[in-house]
Copies of this chain bind each other. A is one copy, B any other.
Amino acid sequence: MLTPEAAFAKVLEVARPLPPRRVTVREALGLVLAEPISADRDYPPFPRAMMDGYAVRFADAGRTVPVAGEIAAGRQVDIELADGSCIEIMTGACCPPGTQAVVQKEHVRREGDAVALPAEIAPGQHIASAGSECRRGQEALPVGTIVSPLAAAVLASFGVEIVPAIPRPSLATITTGSELAAHGEQPTPVQIRDSNGPMLAALAAEMGIDASIAMTVPDRFEDILDALAAAAEKDLVLIAGGVSVGTYDYVPRALERFGAETIFHRVAQKPGKPLLLARKGGQLIFGLPGNPLGCHLGFHRYVAAAIRRMEGKPPAEVYRGRLLQTIRPKTGRAHFVPAQASWSNDGWQLQPQPGVSSADVFHAAAANCYLHIPPGPVEITQGNDVEFSLFSC
């Protein structure tokens, strides 16, 4: 049985970045750029006034000089600045030839058509010279940039509307389980409602992915096979339940019949030991535990890592923080304990929110991270540091 570290490494090895597509800047938000983006011209394109005020000459510091004109932002400049005069100028406007500095409106005294300038004027003050922010042809966004709002501003400045970016994977979810009441029906005393389907949809939605196919099927070999066939065009398939060693756990056999290659099955961890990764061509298929917490951890730790890798992104951060409560693992396996991480001035503080079982999402719902507890049985006492991963970031 693989360790969680070995299984994680396998996921990163098997998942591959998807081929880039050309998308709009709006669609590219949060995606990785597949080509570098370079400046179409100098930025700023002209010597730009950074303040509302007056374009001036050094020689006039401390003097009162007439205002020879006005330049608004976006206006063509048809005057030249000479000693003994100044020109009123707005933030964002092009400084006229001859400008040596811009003096802020607040730092002069206007007297009719003239202004009294301050005695000290620094060379080039409040002027952004042409090309000072970015030179024409300069690479402004390298390959691998995740398109953020600031990157969107850069792209908009350059007039770029379509960019080559690595898309998000397409996704199908399949939840299995004959103990599940059909949607909208009252469960019998020995049935429960499906919670994995809505949970997986929410986990995917947090990563910007819409599960365009979401199926619920009973624990029947043929039904699972049919569901796999229906999802054959998707980059990623998640099957929750039926993945363990029970008599009706048909998923491993169905995957074999489907022609998928099993990469691993079962991971030495709690919760979520019966985790399976298979591959068919370019498609990755995860078999996730039917137990909701195991299913959640399976997505959080392994599926999310596969998605990030398919999107060309590095793995999510693993942090360290201080335990606020002693943990006594009951198992020899590595243990991922739901917890509430909060930041205080000297670092992360971690309050465990252990469930009573790997089906217990009720206690875990207050958590925002998983503690990574190494294989025990070694008690980790309050005040010690442990690694953890935040739910969504």
Which chain A residues have a beta carbon within 8 Å of chain B's beta carbons? Answer: 25-26, 29-30, 39, 43-46, 48, 50, 52, 70, 72-77, 88, 90-94, 105-106, 128, 132-134, 140-141, 145, 148-159, 177-180, 186-203, 205-206, 219, 244-249, 290-292, 296, 299, 317, 319-320, 338, 343, 345-347, 355-365, 367-368, 391-393
Contact = CB atoms under 8 A, between A and B. Distances in A.
A91 to B, nearest CB: 6
A45 to B, nearest CB: 6
B149 A206 contact: yes
A151 B248 contact: no
A72 B220 CA distance: 12
Contact of A93 (B46, B179, B249): B179
18 contacts: A29-B206, A45-B187, A70-B247, A72-B247, A75-B190, A90-B248, A91-B291, A92-B177, A94-B189, A128-B359, A133-B355, A133-B363, A140-B365, A148-B368, A150-B364, A153-B196, A158-B193, A320-B345
Contact of A52 (B155, B246, B392): B246
A202 B29 contact: yes
Contacts of A128: 356-357, 359-360
Nearest to A48: B359
Given A30-B206, A156-B194, 11 more contacts: A29-B206, A46-B190, A70-B247, A91-B246, A92-B192, A133-B363, A140-B365, A148-B391, A152-B202, A153-B196, A154-B362
A45 B391 contact: no
A153 B194 CA distance: 8
- Closest 8 A-B residue pairs measured CB to CB? A74-B179, A73-B179, A52-B246, A149-B202, A153-B199, A153-B195, A134-B362, A156-B198
Contact of A356 (B105, B133, B193, B362): B133
Contacts of A206: 29-30, 149
Quickly give the copy total for this chain: 2
A178 B156 CA distance: 17
Nearest to A363: B133
A39 B360 CA distance: 13
Contacts of A74: 177-180, 188, 190-191
From A153, A355, A358, name the one whose CB has the most chain B CB atoms within 10 angstroms.
A153
A63 to B, nearest CB: 23
A159 to B, nearest CB: 6
Contacts of A202: 26, 29, 148-149, 152-153
B248 A205 contact: no
A219 B73 contact: yes
Contacts of A134: 360, 362
Nearest to A194: B156
B365 A193 contact: no
A244 B89 CA distance: 13
A231 to B, nearest CB: 20
Contacts of A133: 355-357, 359-360, 362-363
Nearest to A157: B195
Nearest to A50: B357
A92 to B, nearest CB: 5
A30 B72 CA distance: 44
A145 B368 CA distance: 12
Given A180-B74, A343-B317, A199 B355 contact: no
Contacts of A356: 128, 132-133
A296 B191 CA distance: 51
Contact of A44 (B153, B178, B317, B359): B359
A294 B200 CA distance: 38
